[in-house]
Structure 1
Amino acid sequence: MIWYLIYNLLLILILLLFTPVLLYKTLIKGRYREGFGERLGFLPSKIRRWQKEDIIWIHAASVGETVAASSLVSELSAEYPECKILFSTITDTGRNMARKSIDQADAIIYFPLDFPWIVNRVLEKIKPELIIMIETELWPNFLKTAKKFDCKTMVASGRISDSSLKSYKYFKPLLKRVLDNIDIFSMQSAQDVDHILELGAKEERVYNNGNIKFDQDYAEGNLELRNELYDKFKLSPKQPIVVMGSTHDDEEKQLIAVYKHLKDEFPELVMILAPRYIKRKEEIETLYQQEGINVVRRTEIEQREQESVILLDTIGELAQIYSIADLVFIGGSLIKRGGHNILEPAAHGKLVFFGPHMFNFKDNTRMVLEHGVGIQVKDADELAEEMLYYLQNQEKLEVKDRQARQMIESNKGAAKRNIELAAKLIGVESYEG
């Protein structure tokens, strides 16, 4: 088929162009060595011995999708204890997070490169009964080959952002054929349903089942966990703590004025700054030091003395850190990036602040605003004023925090609804949720 041929030629071209970079990073920098064989389709021996087992394969690209998948994996493990659960990720950080949060998986691997001969080798070996792709993982050759081996496939907690929709439209002829290979699309929202239908999914295969991120166990209310975090970060529950999560280039600069404004009114205030990409830590550190602000990195927290800006340079801790925040700002929203996950802080019972650019999370934004647990600001000046107001009015902040927890509780159940659809695919007559 011509579109698959074009896709495969592009894959080969990309591989040839990036081979020198990959060799450098692998041989000199030591990256990609772990799991190199898995990416080429060579499975660990224990998985090769599963040939006569019923296998459910869950795939999540990186950290966010992996964390979201935890509730779904828990449900699957409980409902189908006789099945082997294989979990895959693409990134190193996703794999590390899976090792921490996906306890029920029988094996965790890197997702194979989407070349026909590689995915054919993998799927021919294990022939999973069901493959679940989290959010928007649409790999053409993998899904086509899964269809060939009669593996049932579904997208769980599917999401198509506005920006992704625009990009996908360039590949619509190929994408239509890819979507035909997927048995069920369980989408997060009505908007996501509309988007997947616009791209060519068959209407009878598409469902609106909500977001499995609502079903995560955030350990909210766990006093022992919060006390442990206070101790690790050398903080006091009496100190105002502001967490700036998933920030981007230029946002950290804008947040300097916000920090100074709040610090003038609350001298004991501490700001935990969590950049989206921790490789920028030195750049951010220099930026703040030039402003006369002392910064301590999370990895050097034992040396912390009076520094009131903590730079989070670790992966996988941010979701827990929200639990000790008084106020939370989510980045990618003061700039035209489209925002990030605002449900995590809400799940910890936190009023969440964000900028005007949340176009990649329209439904979540609408939800938190309708429930009164989100504050959308037009710029950094307004962010400073709104945050100051709630620090000065603790009783109103407590009301908002309770409302956030109530919103999360009222929207749980997406994981179970996804399991019900999975049960239909693998021939289970009824599902006792």
Structure 2
Amino acid sequence: MKHMQKIIAACASLAMLALSGCGTSVGASNVPVVPTKGEVTIRLNWWGGDSRVKNTEQVVKAFEKEHPNIHVQTEYSDWTGYWDKLAVQSAGGNAPDVMQMDELYLSFYGGMNALLDLNKAKKYLDLSNIDSSLLDMGKLDGEQVAVPLSTAQYGVIVNNDVLDTLGLKLPENADSWTWDEFEDFAKKVADASNGKIVGAIAPNNGYALQLWARQHGERLFKGDTVAISPGTLAKFLQMPADWVDNGIEVSKETWSENVTASLNDSAFGKGQQAMMLTQASQITPYAQAAGTSNMTLLPVPQVKPGAKTNYLKPGMYWCISSGSEHPAEAAMLVNYLLNNEKAGKILGTERGIPANNDIRKNLSTSATGTDKRSLDFVDKIESTIGKAPGITPNGASDLDSLIVRYQQDVVFGKQKPLAAAKAMISELQESIDFNS
């Protein structure tokens, strides 16, 4: 991928900078974290669409009004363009003061000494309203190099209109069902529709695989090592093939189309699928696509219902460049984006469920429909939330596409599940080793 090539090139450049005198400790910075007297200009960079641009710029204007000496230059791109640009900027020593970050790339930028240790800015940045387990997923080598701005929880979105049309009702234990119970109900959907409605699509991303490993008493990663066993991974890769065979996913072709489809073009987005295993915050976009708000959010199935195998995954982070000349002002901006009630109302849930618990609860009091269900879902699964895993190691940023590729091999009979699992582990480990 083009942006990955640029990131690899940036890695070499950043490494040379570190060796030439910038130091190698995570979060290091020689600039004192104190406000600058007089006028200050800082840069804020993020990825996202038009609504995110509009909302963020509105919050920035409100921040500038409260801090008239601080001027914020905004920059934004689409997903791919963002990482292309950030890699080049970072390699050239011109990174934005405040940047939006994704968990897949945090290890890379943090490990290359590109991000400020936010503990140095704690006088200007309050992190007390964010769950400690969520904050831990912004740490690298014990340093808080990123602060989650939103949280994601994996769950099951149910289109009740589809169930009503088929004369079906959710099982009474759907709030705490096993995988076998979930599959049985998904098959009932497919059977009742004579194969016209997809029951569900098997999970196919890194978040789901993390949960799958935890439910089986394992970890996906242990530091820079792929720790999941081939047997446990093989079951995960086999799942979509099994669901094709028993009719839950209708056919191989239907499964393949849905895996690569956009939200609006997916079977669930078109109202042709009963249940969707995905992040809970997706309920409103899917409801809008399907044309119904008659949707329910349920916990993800577990091997042992009630076990503390879930965790709060950061949807996105805010980070401050270790090369910022104005880290105190950058921290003030991050603090405003995270903690200001007015900012919270403007930003809403567009970037995901707010990581700040007070902001989330305040939004919930006035929210309705699917928005309220997504905001309250954190409380619904609270009893099953355990200690968060470490962040994805550098070199594993293509995990999602890797999972889909090996699932495709199994679904279309190119590889047996165990052989595919061993090959995937080997490929993933090789990538991590190459980038470490």
Q: TM-score, normalised by structure 1?
A: 0.35
Q: TM-score, normalised by structure 2?
A: 0.34
Which gives a bigger RCO, structure 1 or 2 (Cα 8 Å, sep 6+)?
2
